[in-house]
Amino acid sequence: MSGLLQEMTEKALALNIPLSVQLDLTYRCNERCVHCYLDHDDHGEMTTEEIKHLLDEMASAGVFILTLSGGEIFVRKDFFEILEYARQRTFCVKLKTNAILIREAEAARIRDLGVESIQISIYSHRPEVHDAITLVRGSLERSLDAIRFLKSQGLRVVIANVLMIQNVQDYTGVRALAEELGVESTLDPTITPMMDGNRSVLSLSVDQSALQQVFRDTGLVGNVDEFCAVAAPADENALSSLPCSASHTTCYVSPYGDVFPCVQFPLPTGNVRKQRFLDIWRHSDQMNEVRSIRIKDLTTCTQCSHVSNCSRCPGLAFMEGNMRGPSTQDCEKSFARTGVPSANMLSKRRAAANLVQIRALPALASASA
């Protein structure tokens, strides 16, 4: 994080300002990615005027960074009307798109409107792998054509790669492709459960062996010994710190106006069709509950050796049943990184061992009779 952004974040936190918001314009999409956590039907998206009104409220609330995402944002015919309005309100706008629908005219308008960055998902450098994930033949070629053209227009492009069992061997190829194209790239090993709580998609997550390989790749993590080291025990400052930025300086708004602490934290806190955005941000009981939590309030995690440097997501923990509890996926990442089981993993092992003993009791009783 740059010095200026860090300073803005600290001031936003002190003043209770939602510095950064992700607004999904639609859940409709022209791809059908096998790992996607969204329902792609339209259940009554906000109209153009409703979104403009929301943007006015966000500007008044102090929002600075606005990420427009979906679904696929370009399936909305009013996308550029919304983007232009957002830039008139001087938001720093970032886009998330598969870029399939971006042609020369669209790229020129994006450039002229001063968009900060465009994030495009690329799952593999091999068409047969990428297209099998998006379920759209030719999608890799079309996305790469768009990346090349956007780059030629002087736009900042970021390739985002989600790691899963289908593409586990291809992340180095995607990174090399990004270098060849002259764009940035990111890698995320987390599969997100469906917004409705369905966790079946987690079957696509990579195993410990693959995570260990990723976390020991110097091209990704730099100094492996330093990255994989177990942190020192948490001190009082660490225990009093915030679990993450959700509800503190960031939040998420769905295409239907529902406000959540984060896109990975499906706890409804209000709806902008019924309430002012700022009232939800400041006064929602759910938002304030999330806001009240400190590291020391977490169950299990405070006793864990990883508590100081865990990537624990409270939204993923919430989808497991307890926003103050551990996130199993993040426990697995910490274990793959350091080789040291988390407190949550050890607790589950003890519970499993106790269950085996309990189940064995009737057989032991019969044998001794």
36-68 confidence digits (pLDDT tens): 999 888 899 999 999 999 999 999 999 999 999
The answer to whether residue 69 scores a pLDDT higher than 80 is: yes
Enumerate residues 6+ apart whose C-beta is below 8 A from 244.
262, 312, 313, 314
Give the span between the Cα atoms of 232 and 358, in whole angstroms.
37
Give the dihedral sign, CA 254/259/265/267.
negative
DSSP state of 246: B
Beta strand 270-271 with 258-260 is: antiparallel
Q: What is the pLDDT of residue 339?
A: 93
Amino acid type, 43: H
pTM of the model: 0.92
Q: What is the pLDDT of residue 40?
A: 87
Q: How many CA atoms lie within 13 A of 301 on its CB side?
A: 29
Inter-residue contact 168 to 65 (CB < 8 Å): no
How much is the average pLDDT of 306-313?
Answer: 89
Confidence of residue 152 (pLDDT cuts 50, 70, 90): very high
Burial label for 102, CB within 10 Å (0-12, 13-18, 19+), is buried
Single-letter amino acid code for the residue at 258: D
Is the pLDDT confidence value at 81 over 80?
yes
pLDDT one-digit tens code per residue, 219-256 = 999 999 999 998 777 788 888 889 899 999 999 999 99
- Give 13's pLDDT tier (boundaries 50, 70, 90): very high
Task: Report strand pairing: 258-260 vs 250-253.
Answer: antiparallel
pLDDT value at 132 more than 70 = yes
98 alpha-carbon distance from chain centroid: 16
- Per-residue pLDDT at 364: 58
Helix (H, G, I), strand (E, B) or coil at 119: strand
Q: What is the pLDDT of residues 157-183, one digit of tens each?
A: 999 999 999 999 999 999 999 999 999
Tokens of 110: 């994006």
pLDDT for residue 368? 60
3-state secondary structure of 235: coil
Cβ-based neighbours of 113, under 8 Å, separated by 6 or more: 80, 83, 84, 87, 93
Bridge partners, 212 (sequence order): none
* Ordered strands of the 157-162 beta sheet: 184-188, 157-162, 117-121, 92-97, 65-69, 20-24, 250-253, 258-260, 270-271
More confident residue, 231 or 302: 302
